[in-house]
Amino acid sequence: MKVVLLNKNNTVYTSNAYLVLGNWNRLEDINTLIDVGADGSIISEIENVHSGVGKNKVDQIILTHNHFDHTKNLAAIKKQYNTKVYAFSPGDFVDELLKDGQMISIADMVFQVIHTPNHSSDSICLYCEEEGVLFSGDAPLRITSISGSYSNDFIRTIERLHRLNIRTIYSGHDLPLKKGVKEMLEMTLKNVKTARLLMMI
């Protein structure tokens, strides 16, 4: 699996977008765009990526949630590549809804859909057990204080992610995190549990 970070030189407020390709660009690999961002230059970035001879540049799009900075380019990219769009909730140009726990092929790997409500009710993460990779969208996974307000559902989400063997996180706005992932999730889980207890006092 190869992950190409797009929207690197954006001139507008936008999310990250990731083009995920197979290691060998085989015909059966499913070239996948995770989020599409809001910067219109993304199509020219995609066109400059070598994605395999005779292959569509983008076979499918998966949205981590339906906020504008992650979805604004959806119509243009869907039209350009005639691709199928997956999301957790209905929306313009969405072809198929995803479910929590569903397995979906991305590039040359299989990922699990994990519903992670907090940032939005339709937020999802995508986890590949084989590679230890998580595409986290805007799920708040780095929480450094105990001053917030967190639901039991969100705490269960962090507990669920903490149990996974995540080694790399590709987030919706930050640079990829490849070191200290387990420690970060441990810190976040401790802080959200403490914040929840303080709310109940």
The answer to whether the beta carbons of residues 178 and 168 sit under 8 Å apart is: yes
Instruction: Taking residues 61-87, report their average pLDDT.
Output: 95
Topology at the third CATH level for domain 2-200: Metallo-beta-lactamase; Chain A (3.60.15)
More confident residue, 90 or 120: 90
Q: Tens of pLDDT along 120-157?
A: 888 999 999 999 999 999 998 999 998 888 888 889 99
Q: Tens of pLDDT along 18-50?
A: 999 999 999 999 999 999 999 888 999 999 999
Please check the confidence at residue 2 and state whether its pLDDT lies above 70. yes
Please check the confidence at residue 199 and state whether its pLDDT lies above 80. no
Instruction: Give the model's pLDDT for residue 47.
Output: 94
What is this structure's pTM? 0.94
Instruction: Give the model's pLDDT for residue 53.
Output: 83
